[in-house]
A = this chain, B = another copy of it.
Amino acid sequence: MTMSSSTGGRRKPPTIHDVAREAGVSRGTVSRVLNGGHYVSPAAAQAVDDAIRRTGYVVNRHARSLITGRSDSVGFLLTEPQERFFEDPNFNVLLSGCTQALASHDIPVLLMLAGTKDERRRITRYITAGHVDGVLLVSSHSGDPVAEELRAAGVPLVACGKPIGLGSKVSYVAADDRDGARDMVRHLLDVGRRRIGMITGPLDTPGGVERLAGYKEVLTEAGVAVDEALVVSGDYSKASGEAGAERLLAQAPDLDAVFVASDLMAQGVLAVLQRAGKRVPDDIAVGGFDDSPAATAVTPRLTTIRQPWDRISTEMVRVLLAQIGGEDPAAVILPTELVRREST
């Protein structure tokens, strides 16, 4: 009767005014129904709901934002170099998790890739101009200039993983890296290994440092001396895993296990071990970290530490929305879990 919605072409969408007329009430009443429904009589609320359904009304967010000052959208900001984004499936899991969590609050996500310097400037301006209400930040960089500027501008910000150089004023959600590392090394000891090497993550990031600390702690507790020749550093990339494995094999021929700080690096490690004729796990056990899709894509499938990405993303969203709502920054640490497969 009022409008057929599947007619081709784009017609002018109904406004709050149309709904008000259709429901026989005023704009104000419709607006109140739309925003929580307080101080509205049941009869009016019902009439408005019906009218909305009949007209196919959808709120015009631009008009709303213009007056509220909020944009009701958030940015997902990636300051990583793009190659890592391409290579590491964890980003997808995180991005998808955050997007869905926000969708349930009816909040759209703007994807922001700050690759080049120009991009960084453009994005910073965009954000500080108030075009998003808050930002989910993915960055392993130390001293990220974009993040620092956003923090200074008072933009609500939640990082994935503990950021450094940003003071304590920025929220973050992270897995318990140290505890995860401890679990893995303890597991390697449990299966009888003693010459346990490690390929670390970048040591200018808290995550990299924590995983190394966990490794050393457990060895020390178990009375196994920490041999620095068994520790080489990497940057989470597959290539650095290969390089690390080669150095490790050269430095320590008697290696019987290696704890690798990311599944992606572990993928590289497995390739090198295979080329070197080492059997996994018979000759050398390999433990990863992340439980990324890569962990089950390799042969043998990787024993690893599961990061609770689903919870990380929902927590990031929860903390961000709280902060947008005026609450103080918060830090959330989530537990990890050992996933045993064939590589140990």
CB-based contact B155/A10 at 8 Å: yes
CB-based contact B95/A103 at 8 Å: no
Interface centre among A10, A73, A111, A122 (most CB of B within 10 A): A111
Nearest residue, chain B, Cβ from A65: B62
Contact with A271, one of B113, B131, B299 (Cβ below 8 angstroms):
B299
The yes or no answer to A220 lying at the interface (CB within 8 A) is no
The yes or no answer to A87 lying at the interface (CB within 8 A) is yes
CB-based contact B126/A108 at 8 Å: yes
A247 to chain B, nearest CB (A): 19
Give A122 to B103 CA distance when docked, in angstroms.
9
Give A292 to B275 CA distance when docked, in angstroms.
23
Copies of this chain in its oligomeric complex? 2
Interface size class of A (residues with CB under 8 A): 35 or more
The yes or no answer to A37 lying at the interface (CB within 8 A) is no
A62 to chain B, nearest CB (A): 4
CB-based contact B93/A115 at 8 Å: no
Give A266 to B85 CA distance when docked, in angstroms.
22
Within 8 A of B (CB), among A125-178: 125-126, 128-131, 149, 152-155
The yes or no answer to A100 lying at the interface (CB within 8 A) is yes
Give A199 to B238 CA distance when docked, in angstroms.
28
Contact with A99, one of B13, B99, B111 (Cβ below 8 angstroms):
B111
Q: Which 3 A-B pairs have the closest CB atoms?
A: A58-B129, A62-B65, A62-B62
Taking Cβ atoms with an 8 Å cutoff, the residues of A that contact B are 5-6, 8-10, 13, 58, 60-63, 65-66, 71, 73, 76, 82, 85-87, 89, 91-93, 95-96, 99-100, 103, 106, 108-113, 115, 119, 122, 125-126, 128-131, 149, 152-155, 238, 267, 271, 274-275, 293-294, 297, 299
